[in-house]
Amino acid sequence: MYSDAALLQYIATEDAAETEALFAAAREARAPYYGNEVYFRGLIEFTNYCRNDCYYCGIRAGNRRVERYRLSLGEILDCCRAGDALGFKTFVLQGGEDPYFTDERVAELVGAIRERYPDHAITLSIGERSRGSYEAFFRAGANRYLLRHETANEAHYGRLHPDAMSLAKRKRCLFDLKEIGYQVGAGFMVGTPFQTPECLLEDLRFLETLQPHMVGIGPFIPQSDTPFASAPQGALTLTLRMVALARLLLPRALIPATTALGTVAPDGREKALLAGANVVMPNLSPKAVRKLYALYDNKICTGDEAAECRQCLEGRIRSFGFAPNMARGDFAFGSSRTTEFFEGIRQRGSCL
Ligand code: SAH
C-alpha cells in the first residue's frame, strides 16, 4: 500500500538515486511473474479514419491534412501471415474509430483471423463501443482489448477531448470489457497539456481500482496539425517513473515499452524495460501506410519492414540483458513463478 504522499514523492522526485531505487524496486516486483522475459506483439494499424476529435491526436477527425487509409480484409490477413511467419503469437489490431468498421465487419475480421490462427491472441484497440459490440467481438474470437483511459482526472479529460467524449463513458467501456472476459489494457499519456502530478496520482489510483491486465504508458508528443502542436512533449524520466509505479502497483501486469518512449529517446524503450516494462510491440503494418498512422510527429520505425523491426528489437533487448519471448504471453492470472515451482514439486513429489 502506497500513500498518496509516497506516490506523489516518486512522481515529483528529481533525485537520481531515488529514481534508480524506484526502477530497481519495479524490476524486483516484475521478477517473480515474468523474470527477464520480454513479450512480442505484432501491431497492425489497420485504419487511420476516426470520428473522434481528441485534441492531442494526429488522426483526429478535424485534421484535414492527414491522408486517410484503411486496409482491406485481405491486406490485414497478409499482415497476419507475415507476422505469423516471423513467430508472432499476438496480433494487435489498432485503429481510429472508423465508422466503416461496423460491428459486423469487425466480427468478420476477427473471425477470419481466429479461423486461420486458432491459438494466437487477438487484441483489439478500436476505441469505444457498446457492451453488445464488445460481446460480439469476444464471441468472434478476440481475447484482449487496449483502451487507454488517457487521464483519470475528469477536468483534465475535458481539456483533452471535445464535449462529446467523457471519462465516465471511457471507464464504463473498460469495466464492460473486463466483465466480458477480455484481458484489458488501460493507460495514459504523460505530459499532456494541463496535466499535474495530482492527475498522475489519480491515474495510478484508477489502475488500482480497475486492475487491468495491461497498462500502456507513453509520453505525449505533439503532432503538428493538432491544437496541441506547440505544446511541449512529455519528459522521458517522468514517463519511466510512471511505468515503474504502475509495475509496483500491478506486479503481474503486461506493460509495454511504448513506441512513443522510443521516439523521445533512442534508448527510451530499453530504459522502460529497466523500469519494469515487459512487452514490445513491433509494427506489422504495411510499409506503405506506416507514415500515415501519425498519432504524433517523428514516430520511429516507419521505414522498416516487419522483419527488420523484429530483428532490431530482439538485438536491443538482448544487449540489455533481457530475453525476447515470442509466446502468447498472457496475463499471469495464477501464481508467481516461485509458487508454481513449489507447486510443481508438491504435485510431482520430487524436485525433478
Ligand atoms: N482509437 C483507439 C486507438 C487510439 S491510438 C482508442 O481510442 O483507443 C492509441 C493511443 O495513442 C491513444 O490511446 C493515445 O494514448 C496515444 N496517442 C494519441 N496521440 C498521441 C500523441 N500526440 N502523443 C502520444 N501518444 C498519443
Measured in degrees and rounded to the nearest 5, phi and psi for residue 211 equal 55, 60
Q: Over the range 77-105, which residues count as b (16 or more CB within 10 Å of their CB) and which as e?
A: bebbebbbebebbbbbbbbbbbeebebee
Q: Report the residue among 49, 133, 170, 189 best suited for mutation to probe ligand 1: largest number of ligand atoms under 8 A from its CB.
A: 189
Q: What is the pLDDT of residue 350?
A: 58
Using the mean position of ligand 1's atoms as its centre, give its distance from the Cα of residue 345 in Å.
45
Nearest CA to ligand 1 atom 6: 127
Predicted confidence (pLDDT) per residue in 79-136, tens digit:
999 999 999 999 999 999 999 999 999 999 999 999 999 999 999 999 999 999 999 9
Using the mean position of ligand 1's atoms as its centre, give its distance from the Cα of residue 295 in Å.
6
Q: Report the residue among 45, 47, 146, 148 best suited for mutation to probe ligand 1: largest number of ligand atoms under 8 A from its CB.
A: 148
Whole-number Å distance between alpha carbons of 173 and 233 = 28
Measured in degrees and rounded to the nearest 5, phi and psi for residue 350 equal -155, 170
Predicted confidence (pLDDT) per residue in 182-209, tens digit:
999 999 999 999 999 999 999 999 999 9
User: Which residue bears the cell 465516465?
Assistant: 168
Q: Which atom of ligand 1 is nearest to the CA of 219?
A: 24
Pairing state of beta strands 144-146 and 183-190? parallel
Q: Which atom of ligand 1 is nearest to the CA of 57?
A: 19
Q: Which atom of ligand 1 is nearest to the CA of 222?
A: 22
Please, where are the H alpha helices in the chain?
4-12, 16-34, 73-85, 103-116, 131-140, 154-160, 167-180, 197-210, 236-249, 259-264, 268-274, 287-290, 306-319, 337-348
Whole-number Å distance between alpha carbons of 54 and 31 = 37
Q: Which atom of ligand 1 is nearest to the CA of 148?
A: 13
Nearest CA to ligand 1 atom 4: 96
Nearest CA to ligand 1 atom 7: 127
Q: Report the residue among 43, 56, 57 best suited for mutation to probe ligand 1: largest number of ligand atoms under 8 A from its CB.
A: 57
Whole-number Å distance between alpha carbons of 242 and 209 = 17
CATH architecture of 4-348: Alpha-Beta Barrel (3.20)
Q: What is the pLDDT of residue 309?
A: 87
- Identify any residues that bridge with 216 across adjacent strands, giving them in sequence order: 187
First to last CA, the chain: 37
Give the strand order in the sheet containing 323-325: 279-280, 37-40, 323-325
Using the mean position of ligand 1's atoms as its centre, give its distance from the Cα of residue 118 in Å.
29
Residue boundaries of the structural domains of the chain: 4-348
Provide residues with CB under 6 Å of ligand 1.
56-57, 94, 96-97, 125-127, 147-148, 150, 189, 218, 220-221, 223, 260, 295-296
Task: State CA 253 to chain mean position distance.
Answer: 11
pLDDT tens for the chain, residues 1 to 352: 899 999 999 999 999 999 999 999 999 999 999 999 999 999 999 999 999 999 999 999 999 999 999 999 999 999 999 999 999 999 999 999 999 999 999 999 999 999 999 999 999 999 999 999 999 999 999 999 999 999 999 999 999 999 999 999 999 999 999 999 999 999 999 999 999 999 999 999 999 999 999 999 999 999 999 999 999 999 999 999 999 999 999 999 999 999 999 999 999 999 999 999 999 999 999 999 999 999 999 999 898 888 888 999 999 999 999 999 999 999 988 767 766 666 666 666 655 5
